[in-house]
Structure 1
Amino acid sequence: MSKFPFAFLDEQSKKEIRRAVLKGVAIPGYQVPFASREIPIGRGWGTGGLQITLALVGQNDVLKVIDQGSDESVNAENIKKLVQKTTGIETTIHTSEATLIQSRHRIPEVPLRSDQIMILQVPEPEPLRHVERSEFKTKQMHAEKEYSGAYLLLFEQIMRYGQTSEGADYPVYVHNRYVMNPSPIPRFDNPKIHQSDALVLFGAGREKKIYAVPPYTNVESLAFDDYPFEVEAFEGKACKATGLTNVFLDEFTDEETGETYYLCNDTSYMQEYLEQKRGI
């Protein structure tokens, strides 16, 4: 029997976090302040996402945790162990089996359903921080819908490189109102948030912010008419293990031959595909 309360946090803390989540759902893309609690993992290792998970998890939930596409990294395993030891719930590596999915840097390749909640860990929730250090002024800019600074960064990249070079944290317009950081997911995953069947929640523990994209909400990546938004291009490349081309790929180099090859970043999706192919 665990010496901690169910899901580690006390009930008052869970209620306060759930209230912040509800406000975030009611105002898509708006950063809701909350009293971030101390939990037994280091700041910057997913405390915001974990607090949302601990506040929402129930006895019948099934949890999946991803760290940069992998279910078996140290960070993902430790988060799963903490939740499991304080709740007794089941965990899984299969996206289709999970009711709660907590992730660092990726949205699964398997399309999410309406009975699932996607929880993303966020290191820096403020999309205007690169142009304004003052929290007071960024709040004012959001209130006035003053987002020229967000476009300026993309414009500078186009002037310098001929295209936008923002690989992760590519800003999005939510519900035609707030510009939002979608967490450090690759651009490849931005379209998955648009009109998603699942509720998508974002937690920044160090910055003490929670925000949300409700199901079936319009989410548009920032772009210019003459430089439209494009996801990472993998033309002519395929996953070495599966042959898949419509997934986010990681590049590897064979130490013996020096050959460059690619593998699907979502390890559980790759495993499921191979098992299905073998008829397991």
Structure 2
Amino acid sequence: MTTLPFALLDEQSKREIRRAILKGIAIPGYQVPFASRELPIGRGWGTGGLQITLGIIGKEDVLKVIDQGSDDSVNAVNIKKLVTKTTGVDTTIRTQDATLIQSRHRIPEVPLRSDQVMILQVPEPEPLRNIERSEFKTKRLHAEKEYSGAYLTLFEQIMRYNQTSQGADYPVMVNERYVMNPSPIPRYDNPRLHNSDALILLGAGREKKIYAVPPYTHVASLAFEDYPFVVEKFEGKACRETGLTDVFLDELVDEETGETYYMCNDTSYMYEKLQQKVAVK
């Protein structure tokens, strides 16, 4: 009977992933190519983020996996099962208790600490892909710091809608050098990349790229002086369960009444606030 190695990947694969991570940390925002491995999940379901997790996880780590704010989605549950079966590490839904946090589409509401690592799953790492299809040419544009095309995309949105209309994957300038796709997090989460206490790692399995935002790195969303970057606004709206107003809210429809209501997108944060309310009562 064959015994699976710790964290599924062989040691050579882990070493390559770690080398790519170290290079990404040394050059913030730069896309480091790596030999993405085949995993027992479909590409597009988080193989890039999962390979980072498997490459750096240790026996003492505590893992949290979220998918669009939820700890209980199919994607999050299956990734947790795979990691725990091959490592035996503990998992948690509490952001405060986790040392590794793998996420699709969100950064948790709870501020991250310096002893935590945030791992984001990325479907398309190249911020210039809708401008230039050639990988060779996008590499040259990055090398020359030629990002006028990225600004032109935002300018076209302003001309059409009188505002930037890109809701997720809003491009950022990292360390005043590289324009980077922050993964499909909402604009609401972009400011959390700036001067983060935690190391943020981003992995794209299908595109075979790893990149990073080291702690305390300057990250600025692209914008114009007369059209500054703004996040989603939820004035006059609150979470139906907790009354929270300072969180990212999901707009939902009550199936019985047909009425629109709002819920905190970060489910573990919402449950924690509900427990606090019950304890106070």
Q: Shorter-chain TM-score: which interval?
A: over 0.9
**Residues 195-245 of structure 1 deviation map (CA, whole Å, 9 limit, x = unaligned):** 000000000000000000000000000000000000001111010101111
SS in 2 for 1:102: strand
1:26 equivalent in alignment to 2:46: no
**Residues 32-54 of structure 1 deviation map (CA, whole Å, 9 limit, x = unaligned):** 00000001000000000000000
Overall identity of the aligned pairs, in %:
80
Q: Aligned residue for 2:141?
A: 141
1:47 equivalent in alignment to 2:65: no
Q: Aligned residue for 2:35?
A: 35
CA contact (8 A) 1:2 1:86 kept: no
Cα offset for 1:4?
0.8
Cα distance between partner residues in 1 of 2:255 and 2:101: 34
Cα distance between partner residues in 1 of 2:41 and 2:2: 18
Aligned residue identity for 1:233:
K
Cα distance change of structure 1 residues 5 and 140 upon mapping to structure 2, 3 Å threshold: same
Cα distance between partner residues in 2 of 1:22 and 1:115: 17
Cα offset for 1:259?
1.1
Aligned residue identity for 2:58:
G
Task: Could you tell me which runs of 5 or more consecutive residues in structure 1 were left unpaired when the two chains were aligned.
Answer: none
Cα distance between partner residues in 2 of 1:219 and 1:162: 25
Cα distance between partner residues in 2 of 1:257 and 1:83: 41
Cα distance between partner residues in 2 of 1:2 and 1:188: 46
Q: Aligned residue for 2:261?
A: 261
Cα distance between partner residues in 1 of 2:21 and 2:256: 50
**Residues 83-106 of structure 1 deviation map (CA, whole Å, 9 limit, x = unaligned):** 000000000000000000000000
Cα distance between partner residues in 1 of 2:272 and 2:262: 18
1:111 equivalent in alignment to 2:111: yes
Cα distance between partner residues in 1 of 2:258 and 2:163: 30
CA contact (8 A) 1:168 1:185 kept: yes
CA contact (8 A) 1:9 1:54 kept: yes
Task: Could you tell me which runs of 5 or more consecutive residues in structure 2 were left unpaired when the two chains were aligned.
Answer: none
CA contact (8 A) 1:2 1:85 kept: no
1:215 equivalent in alignment to 2:187: no
SS in 2 for 1:225: coil
Cα offset for 1:2?
8.4
1:96 equivalent in alignment to 2:96: yes
Cα offset for 1:3?
2.4
Q: Aligned residue for 2:82?
A: 82
SS in 2 for 1:279: helix
CA contact (8 A) 1:174 1:220 kept: yes
- What TM-score, normalized to structure 1? 0.99
Question: Within 5 Å, which residues of 2 pair with 1:155-166?
Answer: 155-166=155-166
Cα distance between partner residues in 1 of 2:240 and 2:220: 32
Cα distance between partner residues in 1 of 2:273 and 2:198: 22
Cα distance between partner residues in 2 of 1:48 and 1:3: 24
Q: Aligned residue for 2:131?
A: 131
SS in 2 for 1:150: helix
Cα distance between partner residues in 2 of 1:124 and 1:100: 22
Aligned residue identity for 2:104:
R
SS in 1 for 2:58: coil
SS in 2 for 1:211: strand
Cα distance between partner residues in 1 of 2:234 and 2:167: 14
The total of aligned residue pairs comes to: 280
Q: Aligned residue for 1:16?
A: 16
Cα distance between partner residues in 2 of 1:257 and 1:24: 50
Cα distance between partner residues in 1 of 2:64 and 2:196: 18
Cα distance between partner residues in 2 of 1:279 and 1:60: 31
CA contact (8 A) 1:172 1:180 kept: yes
Q: Aligned residue for 1:3?
A: 3
Superposition RMSD in Å: 1.0
- The structure 1 segments of at least 4 consecutive aligned residues displaced by more than 6 Å after TM superposition are none
SS in 1 for 2:114: coil
Aligned residue identity for 1:85:
K
SS in 2 for 1:179: strand
Aligned residue identity for 1:240:
R
Cα distance between partner residues in 1 of 2:256 and 2:269: 27
Question: Within 5 Å, which residues of 2 pair with 1:132-211?
Answer: 132-211=132-211
Aligned residue identity for 1:10:
D
SS in 1 for 2:220: strand
SS in 2 for 1:120: strand
**Residues 236-272 of structure 1 deviation map (CA, whole Å, 9 limit, x = unaligned):** 1010101111100000111221211000000000000
Cα distance change of structure 1 residues 2 and 225 upon mapping to structure 2, 3 Å threshold: farther
Cα distance between partner residues in 2 of 1:59 and 1:253: 43
